Amino acid sequence: MATFQTLPGFREFYPEDLSRRNHIFRLWRQTAGAYGFAEYDAPVLEPLDLYKTKSGDEIEGQLFSFTDKGGREVALRPEMTPTVCRLVGAKASALKRPIKWYSIAEFYRYERMQKGRGRCFFQFNADIFGEPGPEAEIELIALLTQCLCSFGLTEQDFYVRLSDRNLWFYYLEALGLDEARIRAVLGAVDKFEKMGDDAFKAYAEQFGELEAGLKAKVLEFLQIKSLPALEAVLAPIGGEKLAARLGDWRKLLGGLAAMGLERFVEVDLGVVRGLAYYTGFVFEAFDRKGELRALAGGGRYDDLVQKLGGPALPAVGFAIGDMTFALLLEQRGLMPTFVQAPDIYCVIGGEAERRAAFADIQALRAMGYRVDYPLKEVAFGKQFKTASDSGAKLALIYGAEELAKGIVKIRDLGDRTESEVASANVAATVREFFTT
């Protein structure tokens, strides 16, 4: 017989897996709520055009896309950013500012599979719309940090690398490059960590070899790891634009320091982010040991809402992926084990006793207790074993003898003590047990 398997890179969630996933989502939701973000959702299938040119070549090449029965070119969403821009853009004038939104959703990219990378994965996305200044970045980097710290991770486990595409533009402009060349250099910088010198091949194919002096300056800039070093390199260039931008940097780093978060954040001009729409500050979170791929990534994208047909609306946001994040929690022993235990297990004799038990089971479940019982008649001894193996705190015993006496036996599965209660008082007695 043919056995059907999941498509490569797709995941199934058995109950224990889903418990772990739910645990992650629960804490992300709680944290986003504490930061005043509101949750939204959107379709999984979108018009292909939403991603064409807007997300960038890399994501475009990874789309799961097809033509639907109505002849529309469609794609499974590879990311949330264009979608949330459409949502916000359509109602921008009616929404209270700043707009602070988050979502937890599944995404699809036809990627080469590796540790922490699949073809379907979840992301927690958080974005702020309508705030042009670095106050939005402060809020978002704080939220990102808290989303990881809520699980017990510390600055010894992860850090956020902070960079700035604006500064890269100003710097490369000052070195005499035009916009097309600047974009190609940034493409090389994005890949430099992984590919080394080969990262400049695409630039060379398009524009010829990057002149050695310029390349040295690019390599010097991408190695900058502090604000003073950045200020020193930019000082000879000068100008108002640059001075204002360095002011934004001081505000951002000062705000994060005042929140006590400076230990999580490192200036690192080597990060530029591959996605096409970023316009200003960009950041990525990584595990400290450098063993895993990125935990999260984000940045400012002030032009995208307008490019997608909405009003001019500044925006900044990030996404955390669930796969590398779960790996990190497991590596650090911070992923709890989940047991699905009932509160109460009912041990039941024959058919008549079953009917008596059913009334109580229904009433107790309506009160919110997790109640389980054997679906079919099973020997008493076996039922007692199931009851104690189940992790339940109480067993309710419905035997023929008890039924005849108009009582139910209640056994505390912790200390193994037993008592008898009148049938009519089962619910009240159980409530008393669980509230004292």
Residue 93 CA to residue 89 CA, distance in Å, equals 8
Q: Which of 101, 103, 118, 371 binds ligand HAM (CB under 6 A)?
A: 118
User: Nearer Cβ to ligand HAM, position 89 or 298?
Assistant: 298
Rounded least distance, CB 100 to ligand HAM, Å: 12
* Residue range at the interface with ligand HAM (CB under 6 A); choices 227-235, 248-256, 311-319, 351-359: 311-319
Q: Which of 46, 79, 360, 402 binds ligand HAM (CB under 6 A)?
A: 79
Burial of 338 (0-12, 13-18, 19+ CB in 10 A): middle
User: Nearer Cβ to ligand HAM, position 97 or 115?
Assistant: 115
Rounded least distance, CB 23 to ligand HAM, Å: 18
Binding of ligand HAM by 81 (CB under 6 A): yes
Rounded least distance, CB 93 to ligand HAM, Å: 22
Going by DSSP bridges, is the β-strand pair 418-422/407-412 parallel, antiparallel, or unpaired?
antiparallel
Going by DSSP bridges, is the β-strand pair 394-398/344-348 parallel, antiparallel, or unpaired?
parallel
* Residue range at the interface with ligand HAM (CB under 6 A); choices 110-118, 177-185, 195-203, 216-224: 110-118
Closest Cα partner for 45 from 21, 28, 16, 67? Answer: 67
CA distances from residue 285 to 164, 266, 293, 295, 415 in whole angstroms, order as listed: 15, 10, 9, 5, 48
How far from each other are the two terminal CA atoms of the chain, in whole angstroms? 56
Binding string, residues 258-277; x marks residues near ligand HAM by CB under 6 A: -----------------x--
Rounded least distance, CB 261 to ligand HAM, Å: 19
Residue 167 CA to residue 233 CA, distance in Å, equals 11
* Residue range at the interface with ligand HAM (CB under 6 A); choices 40-48, 179-187, 197-205, 317-325: 317-325
User: Nearer Cβ to ligand HAM, position 318 or 398?
Assistant: 318
Q: Which of 134, 187, 280, 297 binds ligand HAM (CB under 6 A)?
A: 297
Axis crossing angle, helix 135-149 with helix 240-258, rounded to the nearest 10:
40
Rounded least distance, CB 98 to ligand HAM, Å: 15
Burial of 433 (0-12, 13-18, 19+ CB in 10 A): middle
Paired residues of 102 in beta bridges:
39, 126
* Residue range at the interface with ligand HAM (CB under 6 A); choices 168-176, 178-186, 318-326, 409-417: 318-326
CA distances from residue 378 to 74, 343, 388, 395 in whole angstroms, order as listed: 54, 20, 15, 15
Q: Which of 21, 23, 52, 117 binds ligand HAM (CB under 6 A)?
A: 117
Q: Which of 151, 264, 281, 318 binds ligand HAM (CB under 6 A)?
A: 318
Closest Cα partner for 134 from 229, 18, 250, 33? Answer: 250
Rounded least distance, CB 25 to ligand HAM, Å: 15
Rounded least distance, CB 196 to ligand HAM, Å: 21
CA distances from residue 185 to 28, 177, 392 in whole angstroms, order as listed: 36, 9, 62
Binding of ligand HAM by 310 (CB under 6 A): no
What is the token pair recorded at 284? 């990525």
Is 256 in contact with 262 (CB distance < 8 Å)? yes
Residue given tokens 């979170």 in the structure block? 285
The string of DSSP letters for 9-55 reads T-----HHHHHHHHHHHHHHHHHHHHTTPEE----SEEEGGGTTTTT
* Residue range at the interface with ligand HAM (CB under 6 A); choices 63-71, 116-124, 202-210, 258-266: 116-124
Please write down the HEC assignment for all residues of 290-333.
CCCCCCEEEEECCCHHHHCCCCCCCEEEEEEEHHHHHHHHHHCC
Binding of ligand HAM by 151 (CB under 6 A): no
Rounded least distance, CB 234 to ligand HAM, Å: 26
Size of the site for ligand HAM (CB under 6 A): 22
Binding of ligand HAM by 89 (CB under 6 A): no
Q: Which of 103, 125, 166, 383 binds ligand HAM (CB under 6 A)?
A: 125
Residue 5 CA to residue 167 CA, distance in Å, equals 48
Backbone φ and ψ for 304, nearest 5 degrees, come out as -70, -40
Length of the chain (residues): 436
Rounded least distance, CB 130 to ligand HAM, Å: 15
User: Nearer Cβ to ligand HAM, position 87 or 426?
Assistant: 87
Binding of ligand HAM by 76 (CB under 6 A): no
**Which residues between 277 and 296 bind ligand HAM (CB under 6 A)?**
294-296
Q: Which of 89, 134, 298, 314 binds ligand HAM (CB under 6 A)?
A: 298
Binding of ligand HAM by 103 (CB under 6 A): no
What is the token pair recorded at 60? 């475009």
**Interacting residues with ligand HAM (CB under 6 A):** 79, 81, 109, 111, 117-118, 121, 123, 125, 127, 275, 294-298, 317-319, 321, 323-324
